[in-house]
Amino acid sequence: AQSVAQPEDQVNVAEGNPLTVKCTYSVSGNPYLFWYVQYPNRGLQFLLKYITGDNLVKGSYGFEAEFNKSQTSFHLKKPSALVSDSALYFCASVRAGNNRKLIWGLGTSLAVNP
Amino acid sequence: GAVVSQHPSWVICKSGTSVKIECRSLDFQATTMFWYRQFPKQSLMLMATSNEGSKATYEQGVEKDKFLINHASLTLSTLTVTSAHPEDSSFYICSARDHSGGWNEQFFGPGTRLTVL
């Protein structure tokens, strides 16, 4: 079965430190991979995507993610965390086939401490 | 950028009543819209895929007669929760994909918090 895993329910990091939110995938074929962020009681905001090309993808708000095919990972990173980055982060991948429905990870709650 | 709106942002209703939630793409045409529900501190659960001018495709386990979806135009899809019960209380989120057909990210609405008393 195709799936997306976010192994950490919660990540805590001090403001100014680098942050990593992990994501691994199990999707047949060439995966399309996405990161979204959700602030409390809000919808999801798109951060970045990997479709093809460079393995390092840069996105909104200083975030980036690296596609690693051998490790089937797409970890989200930021060099210096801000308190305002505290939110729920979702990794997603598109399902093989023509319907293009997203497969979602369970989410990782990021807390950046001042 | 692409904007998707939802209305209402929150609604409280009595058990047995029906509630309609609107999802609009404000600056692009969306041939496909998706409806999700999200329980507290959980991931999104896809309920159905809504295609303009045709019947929605429901995910397994989602009652199509309870969650009525209409996608009558390229900018509007509606979800009607019929005969709502407390277990239908949830955060409902829609998303829209633009008309171009290429792979573009889904644009999400801000969500609707439904509370059924």
Mutate to test the interface with B, among A3, A8, A10, A46 (most CBs of B within 10 A): A46
What confidence tens digit (pLDDT) does each residue in A7-18 have? 999 999 999 999
- Rounded Cα gap, residues B31 and B36, in angstroms: 17
* pLDDT number for residue A96: 58
Comparing CB atoms, the residue among A34, A49, A90 nearest residue B43 is A90
Measure in Å the smallest separation between the Cα of B82 and chain A Cα atoms: 23
What confidence tens digit (pLDDT) does each residue in B62-112 have? 999 999 999 888 899 999 999 999 999 999 999 998 756 556 668 899 999
Q: Which residues contact B116 (CB under 8 A, 6 or more apart)?
A: B12, B13, B14, B15, B84, B85, B86, B87, B88, B89
Q: Is A90 close to B91, i.e. CB distance below 8 A?
A: no
What is the widest separation between alpha-carbon atoms in chain B? 42
Write out residues 48-67 of B within 8 Å (CB-CB) of A: 49, 57
